[in-house]
Amino acid sequence: MTSKVQSLKAFLAGAGRVALVEVAGTKGSTPRDKGAFMLVSGAAIFGTIGGGQLEYMAIDKARQLLFSPLEGEMAAERPEGVVSEGTAKASSTAAATPPDGFAATLPSRGRVVRATLDIPLGPEIGQCCGGRVEVSIRLVDKALEAELVAAADAEQAQLPHVYIFGGGHVGHALASAVALLPVRVVVVETRAEALDSMPDTVETCLTPMPESMVRNAPVGAAFVVLTHDHALDFLIVAEALKRRDAAYVGMIGSKTKKATFRSWFLKSADGSEAEFARLVSPIGGETVKDKRPQVIAALAAAEIMTALAAHAGARAAPHPASRGKAMAG
């Protein structure tokens, strides 16, 4: 498994000189929020601040910082283009001076090490968001590199967990879809061969007792159950519904399968109607009548992310009683 932290470390280790490009402030409608960042080297980028001319201009200015020489050294040759997940040439307008100014600080030895771009997202740069973005650009030294890795580690530790039980066609498609999102994905299987060809960013767990993964999962996890065995599905779902702190419990299947599970859950698993009501089945909803694995995966991924966001919001919201006390005080 390759995590975002590992990818960040690999980029920093192999990129040579690197500049940090960070959204320092926003007004109105903007592509990314404050704190979004990307890293720029002479030939590659890591991350994004939203794309478009805003990003091209920031990349161009970052490379001006990267290739401004120190006293007594020759300017480094500047590579053409930008290499990321694909390859893209910077727009011809990217090097233009941005509207409303550019500020930089100069160290004693002569190299510009910090810059600020204040860019209105209007027709002047071919973007129609209507907002305004302040971008901070600075060269990455060892101390800043350590800060970036530490922040990425902390972010990784806080990611919500999504457990996918079953590595069949839908399980593979769902793992591939959810792996692109800011979550930690774990695919759980009883069959070793079903875990082959999973995305690099997905964790896998081979176990004869998949229900134990439910018991040991962190608070706020999402559980998606789609194994090759209905009886195993029922066992895992029953365990997940007992977790009142779960953000999402979903099971693939038909209305008939859901009704069969309900009967078993209430009569044989000591389940309650309140617990059963939390079950999402079929996953992905019933609006789109398409049973292809990739379509189910896309719909379910959106459903899971919505549930995770709602759960996080509910946990962050103050309790009504505490709000009343605060108002009274």
pLDDT tens digits, one per residue of 67-91: 876 544 554 555 444 333 332 333 3
Report how far apart, in Å, the C-alpha atoms of 320 and of each of 65, 164, 201, 307 are.
Answer: 51, 34, 39, 21
Ranges of the chain whose pLDDT falls below 70: 1, 69-112, 317-329
pLDDT for the residue numbered 105: 35
List CB contacts of 15: < 8 A, sequence separation 6 or more.
39, 41, 42, 44, 46
Question: How is the chain split into domains, by residue range?
Answer: 13-154, 159-316
pLDDT for the residue numbered 2: 73
pLDDT for the residue numbered 148: 95
pLDDT for the residue numbered 322: 52
pLDDT for the residue numbered 248: 98
Closest CA to 181 of 20, 307, 291: 307
Give the Cα separation of 246 and 170 in Å (integer).
22
Order the strands of the 184-189 sheet from edge to edge: 203-206, 184-189, 161-165, 222-225, 248-251, 279-280
pLDDT, tens digit, 9 for 90 and up, residues 267-284: 999 999 999 999 999 999
Number of helical (H) and strand (E) elements in the chain, helices listed first: 10, 14
What's the CATH code, domain 159-316? 3.40.50.720
Give the Cα separation of 328 and 322 in Å (integer).
10
| Model pTM score | 0.77
